[in-house]
Amino acid sequence: GPPGGHTQDGGQDTSFRWQCVEQPIGKLLFRRFLEGAPGFAAAGALWAELEAFEQCEEAERAKMANQLRGRFFTPGGAEHCSFLSASATAPPTG
């Protein structure tokens, strides 16, 4: 391999997190892609709701978490994100 172990693309710069989460334009385009794709619309909506959840007041969090759980994590629901694992959607403990 190359000396020093450097990758040609600069390493992290091409990572999903950098391109689709940390870069505003990449994030916007990726969200638009999700919202416009039939199989991924629920994922796009979930992402938007999770960002709103992170911004909301502490007092609102329990209520909002329950709404999110009912909307996205309930099998049979219109926006059920079935691709999420059971551990990812489990209520937090403690």
pLDDT tens, residue by residue, 19-78: 898 999 999 999 999 999 988 999 999 999 999 999 999 999 999 999 999 999 988 888
Q: Judge whether residue 11 has pLDDT over 70.
A: no
The conformational region for residue 23 under phi > 0 = left, psi -120 to 50 = alpha, else beta, is beta
Q: Which residues contact 55 (CB under 8 A, 6 or more apart)?
A: none
Higher-confidence position of 7 and 29: 29
All domains of the chain in start order, with CATH: 16-89 (1.10.167.10)
Q: The whole model's pTM is what? A: 0.70
Rounded Cα gap, residues 15 and 25, in angstroms: 15
Structure letter (DSSP) for residue 6? -
Looking at residue 12, its pLDDT comes to 53
For the chain, what is the radius of gyration of the CA atoms?
17
Rounded Cα gap, residues 89 and 48, in angstroms: 16
